[in-house]
Every structure is written in C-alpha cells, then in structure tokens.
Amino acid sequence: SDNESGKDEL
C-alpha cells in the first residue's frame, strides 16, 4: 500500500 492519502487505519 502507498502511504499517501487513502489511509485505511483510524
């Protein structure tokens, strides 16, 4: 997964 935007953790 890339780190920019769209992070799935809260």
Partner 1 sequence: MNIFRLAGDVSHLVAILILLMKIWRSKSCAGISGRSQVLFALVFTTRYLDLFTVYISAYNTVMKVVFLALSYATVYLIYMRFRNSYDSENDTFRVEFLLIPVIGLSFLENYAFTPLEILWTFSIFLESVAIMPQLFMITKTGEAESITTHYLFFLGLYRALYIANWVWRYHTEGFYDQIAIVSGVVQTIFYCDFFYLYVTRGEEIRTPS
Binding site for partner 1 (CB under 8 A): 1, 3-10
Q: How far apart are CA 9 and CA 3, in angstroms?
A: 11
Question: What's the closest the beta carbon of residue 7 comes to partner 1, in angstroms?
Answer: 7
Contacts of 1 (CB under 8 A, 6+ apart): 8
Question: What's the closest the beta carbon of residue 8 comes to partner 1, in angstroms?
Answer: 5
Q: What is the DSSP letter of 1?
A: -
Question: What's the closest the beta carbon of residue 10 comes to partner 1, in angstroms?
Answer: 6
